[in-house]
């Protein structure tokens, strides 16, 4: 009888092999789409950017908690090495004993999760003419099967073998000579790798692309500027919006709207939600109208690549507020009704809640000290109440226009750094900044590959005791439950856990843990350089681990002016730090 079972097993294995399917699923085959969808519930790995398709950045792990966090100590620190230690904004991916991180200048590393020993390193061959707007950062990777996939500064998407680091496929997503680049972590939905693009300051055209995860071949492309044609499997798939409906003349052809932060995915609605960046140029007087779909959230059908709904947070943006901030799905009861919602803390200083099934406006509340460009959001229409003197003036001839003071600054009430949502407290934890700017408009004309701003600015602090503030926001009421101020701008992501903890980093070099209910600082560790990455947590062998990248950089030291000079002595770096509890 035993021989018959053995013969049957061999026959089944041969049959599966003949059909091109594995006989037995194992870790060697790598994570499947189902594994990625379950990432928010699995605790032994970190398979997606944001720790689940909704990217709530919440883990139910509670071994590290308010009582034990003071025993959190380093397990190892792994250096990215070389001279490229600048702007480490990545979130680690953890799978099968390996930690994958991207580094500045479009690099990828694989480290042993227990020892920190480097397994392999990949360096993209970047041309000399790349034009990244806001430093040489990269925010992370996507994993699927035998592949680890990330974007590069010359606007390519690269799939590497996760065990060897060898290239499986490499696809161009834009022309770097025209100002296109890419820094976001891709997302994966229905075995497609979906990503956006960067380069709004160079007059590119924002878009979202979906590619076959196994081959890299383009499945659909959806521009996020009105008038541009989308494609589906190589055929025209309808233009976005209606040509010249909200753009005058030919300005839509170089309209910006870059989707540079990536998106979130909701399997329930079959939608991906992508934020869109600033319209080009910054000088809003050159482009009357709402300038769709810039400074907005667009919801795109995963199967068809068509925009199902949109919501514009800053119509006719004249301050470079963008709208790329992540749209985080969550479920809640509002006014006695269970609803499928999404939240977004926008660069313009307002926290928005929408119905994620149709984009209907639910509410918006200020989460920063001041918003001089608008005195609120109309709670019926969802449109901002623009102030009469808040927009920089139009240039006259060759002279710049009237200078105005605007708050937040163009670096935003919240920039790229992702917030977290706790399923325990029902609160969002927002890494926010309080600052303003003098801003003015200047004459500008489009030239391929050249900066396309038409504005100047000087960033200024607006408070004596802080710029950064980690704030806990109740999405039902718009109330700020607590805040933890920081002298330097906050520029890193946030993690919430079942241990009633919230983790985030500071430019001063600290990874910190706060009580999720009160905001009390409970623990901190000095990493040696500014922390502008996103922390994650997982368990292995009955122990909980926490990891974060350290390495100062990003837009603040490049664009921050007088504010950046205040923190000019922060050391650069490039290290992965991993922590666990010290057991006495």
- Residues annotated as catalytic are 320
Q: Are 335 and 372 in contact (CB under 8 A)?
A: no
| Rounded Cα gap, residues 349 and 333, in angstroms | 25
* Phi, psi values for residue 354, rounded to 5°: -125, 160
* Two tokens, residue 498: 């079942």
Tell me how far apart the alpha carbons of residues 257 and 313 are, in angstroms, rounded to a whole number: 13
Q: In this structure, are residues 264 and 328 in contact, taking their beta carbons and an 8 Å threshold?
A: yes
Helix (H, G, I), strand (E, B) or coil at 13: helix
- How many Cβ atoms are within 10 Å of 447's Cβ, its own excluded? 11
Give CA angle at 477 (475, 480), nearest 5°: 75
As given in the structure block, the two tokens for residue 77 are: 């620190």
Q: How far apart are CA 224 and CA 297, in angstroms?
A: 10
- Pick from 43, 51, 49, 45: nearest CA to 31: 45
User: Rounded to whole angstroms, how far apart are CA atoms 229 and 211?
Assistant: 17
Cβ of 583: how many Cβ atoms within 10 Å?
A: 8
**Other residues' Cβ atoms within 10 Å of the Cβ of residue 24:** 10
The residues with which 409 forms a beta bridge, in sequence order, are none
Exposed e or buried b per residue across 413-423, where buried means at least 16 C-beta atoms within 10 angstroms of its C-beta: bbbbbbbbbbe
Torsion angles phi and psi, residue 355, rounded to 5: -75, 115
DSSP secondary structure string, 543-560? EEEEEEEE---SHHHHH-
Cα–Cα distance measured from residue 108 to residue 84, given in angstroms and rounded to the nearest whole number: 12
Query: CA 466, 345, 406, 484: dihedral to nearest 10 degrees?
Result: -10
Report the alpha-carbon distance of residue 436 to residue 44 in Å, rounded: 42
- Strand order, beta sheet including 404-406: 404-406, 435-441, 455-461
Query: Rounded CA gap, 164 and 161, in Å?
Result: 5
Residue 67 to residue 79: CA distance in whole angstroms: 31
Residue closest to 419 by CA, chosen among 321, 345, 353 = 345
Strand residue runs (E) in 479-555 = 480-486, 494-497, 501-505, 510-515, 521-526, 536-540, 543-550
394 vs 577: CA distance, rounded Å: 48
CB atoms within 10 A of CB 328: 24
């Amino acid at each position: 009888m035993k021989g018959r079972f053995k013969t049957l097993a061999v026959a089944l294995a041969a049959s599966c092999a003949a059909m091109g399917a594995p006989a037995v699923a194992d870790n060697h085959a790598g994570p499947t789409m189902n594994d990625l969808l379950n990432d928010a519930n699995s605790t032994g790995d970190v398979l997606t950017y944001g720790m689940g398709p909704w990217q709530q950045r919440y883990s139910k792990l509670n071994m590290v908690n308010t009582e034990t966090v003071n025993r959190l100590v380093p397990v190892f620190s792994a250096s990215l090495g070389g001279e490229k230690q600048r702007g480490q904004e990545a979130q680690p991916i953890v799978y099968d004993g390996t930690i994958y991180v991207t580094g500045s200048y479009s690099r990828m590393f694989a480290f042993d999760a227990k020892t920190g020993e480097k397994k392999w390193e990949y360096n993209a061959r970047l041309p000399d003419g790349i034009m990244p707007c806001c430093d040489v950062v990269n925010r992370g990777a996507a994993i699927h099967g035998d592949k680890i996939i990330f974007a590069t500064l010359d606007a390519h998407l690269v799939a590497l073998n996760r065990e060897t680091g060898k290239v499986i496929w490499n696809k161009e997503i834009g022309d770097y000579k025209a100002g296109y680049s890419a820094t976001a972590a891709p997302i994966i939905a229905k075995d497609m790798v979906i990503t956006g693009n960067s380069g709004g300051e160079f007059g590119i055209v924002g878009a979202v692309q979906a590619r076959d995860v196994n081959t890299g071949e383009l499945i659909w492309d959806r521009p996020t500027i009105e008038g541009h044609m989308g494609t589906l499997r190589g055929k025209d798939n309808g233009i976005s919006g209606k040509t010249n409906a909200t753009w005058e003349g030919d300005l839509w052809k170089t309209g910006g709207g870059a989707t540079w932060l990536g998106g979130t995915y909701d399997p329930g609605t079959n939608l991906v939600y992508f934020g869109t960046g600033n319209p080009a140029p910054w000088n809003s007087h050159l482009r009357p109208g709402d300038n769709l779909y810039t400074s907005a959230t667009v919801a795109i059908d995963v199967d068809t690549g068509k925009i199902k709904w949109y919501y514009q947070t800053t119509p006719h943006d004249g301050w470079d507020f963008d709208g790329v901030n992540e749209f985080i799905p969550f479920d809640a009861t509002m006014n006695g009704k269970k609803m499928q919602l999404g939240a977004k803390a926008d660069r313009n200083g307002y926290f928005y809640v929408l119905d994620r099934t149709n984009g209907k406006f639910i509410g918006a509340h200020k989460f920063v000290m001041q918003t001089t460009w608008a005195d609120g959001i109309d709670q019926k229409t969802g449109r901002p109440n623009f102030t009469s003197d808040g927009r920089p003036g139009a240039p006259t001839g060759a002279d710049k226009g009237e200078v105005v003071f605007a708050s937040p600054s163009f670096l935003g009430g919240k920039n790229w750094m992702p917030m977290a949502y706790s399923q325990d407290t029902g609160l969002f934890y927002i890494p926010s900044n309080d600052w303003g700017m003098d801003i003015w408009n200047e004459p500008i004309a489009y030239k391929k590959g050249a900066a396309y701003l038409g504005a100047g600015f000087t960033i200024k602090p607006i408070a004596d005791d802080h710029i950064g503030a980690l704030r806990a926001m109740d999405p039902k009421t718009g109330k700020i439950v607590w805040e933890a101020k920081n002298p330097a701008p906050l520029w890193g992501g946030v993690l919430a856990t079942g241990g009633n903890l919230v983790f985030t980093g500071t430019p001063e070099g600290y990874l910190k843990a706060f009580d999720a209910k009160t905001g009390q600082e409970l623990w901190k560790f000095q990493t040696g350089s500014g922390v502008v990455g996103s922390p994650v947590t997982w368990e292995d062998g009955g122990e909980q681990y926490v990891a974060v990248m350290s390495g100062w950089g990003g837009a603040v030291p490049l664009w921050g002016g007088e504010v950046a000079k205040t923190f000019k002595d922060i050391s650069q770096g490039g290290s992965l730090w991993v922590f666990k509890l010290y057991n006495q």
